[in-house]
Structure 1
């Protein structure tokens, strides 16, 4: 990475941290390019590139002749950044609930599409993922448990043969990994997840879209119930 690129990222990351911390709220103007440059001891060219970086992610709006302002969070195009902002505002419970509801919209349909298409190889990989979850749970290896969980859902997404559903889910993957590491530390949640994943495989084996959709929906409802029972309570 070039020194210029490193400086651009440093300035962009620091400005984002301040926005997330609430130093600058949506609609607020950011300091001028000259002020930012003086603070970080960088050129205006570096500042402009940093602001363009934030603008490309929808976080900042650069208005010609006016300056830069923080965009409404609803306009942010980076899912992890938006979730970090919401969580920092004390909205963590709401964020978790909305994440599950978003997964429900995408993953239930993915399961329904996958059911009549999924191959024996893919079903076998799903079963291997469940076995890996069981082994990881026995060893209290949360990272391995989450990795197997995420791979299970990725196999179903691939089997759905719908590129657009995968594209919609992709920005949530990093967020889901971090959130599952938090919730999957609870033994009861691990137990429920293993049972739900087994039920999804059984539904997929029937080839029935309705059964697969129902099994995935039941799993995500169980996830929501566990969130309230073991994490948010």
Structure 2
């Protein structure tokens, strides 16, 4: 795994202080010199880190006044929002909200894909489903997660809607780091394989209604499994 750049490390350090509440909303964050001394980095590194956070709208620079923390609903970095939400409402609530977001995006994408998906994409999904089965049988968690994520990516691309893919791309980065948590359970993997089989069957039939319902069923099963096996509620 590539080491984070020093600029990213500094930006993460400042974000950690924001997420923890040490730097509240509308609070003036420390100046460049103070951050340089605290983090033992150059002024240029701090400046670039501040630019990174400002580009994500996590902070705002007010000329003549300083740099302030923005409310979370103004942030445009999904990873940062997930970190803050997890810290604020708890990992359980954040996980549920992520599934709710996936449900809104993926059910519609699957409905669109039913009438637009190509034979090549269907063949790829079949191969990915086989890869999920093989990974499950051999207890290959990484292989299972990779095939699972790619299966969903094919559906998003098959929807033919560029906005869907663009909206989902940052969410996909978050999911790739969190899917291991749920997929570590053997029973959850079994459920996922069965649900993916139903989704693929609906897409092969070109049935838009059934495709949407199958994806919705999968999202509900994912939520149920999260509560039963991970959150144990």
Q: Same fold (TM over 0.5)?
A: yes
Q: Distance in 2 between matches of 1:90 and 1:112?
A: 32
Using the TM superposition, give the Cα deviation of residue 150 of structure 1 relative to its aligned residue in structure 2, in angstroms: 0.5
Using the TM superposition, give the Cα deviation of residue 83 of structure 1 relative to its aligned residue in structure 2, in angstroms: 0.6
* Partner SS, residue 89 of structure 1: helix
Q: Name whichever of 11-20 and 92-101 sits farther off.
A: 11-20
Q: Is the 8 A contact 1:29 1:69 kept in 2?
A: yes
- Equivalent position of 1:3 in the other structure: none
- Equivalent position of 1:31 in the other structure: 30
C-alpha deviations, 1:54-103, integer Å up to 9, x for none?
10011111111211111111111111111112222352111111111111
- Equivalent position of 2:58 in the other structure: 59
Unaligned runs of 5+ in 1: 1-5
Q: Is the 8 A contact 1:51 1:62 kept in 2?
A: no
Residues 1-233 of structure 1 mapped to structure 2, 5 A cutoff: 6-42=5-41, 44-233=43-232
Unaligned runs of 5+ in 2: none
Aligned length: 229
Q: Name whichever of 83-92 and 183-192 sits farther off.
A: 83-92
> If the length of structure 2 is used for normalisation, what is the TM-score?
0.92
Using the TM superposition, give the Cα deviation of residue 43 of structure 1 relative to its aligned residue in structure 2, in angstroms: 5.1
Root-mean-square deviation (CA), in Å? Answer: 1.8
For residues 177 and 40 of structure 1, do their structure 2 counterparts lie closer, same or farther at Cα, with a shift above 3 Å needed?
closer
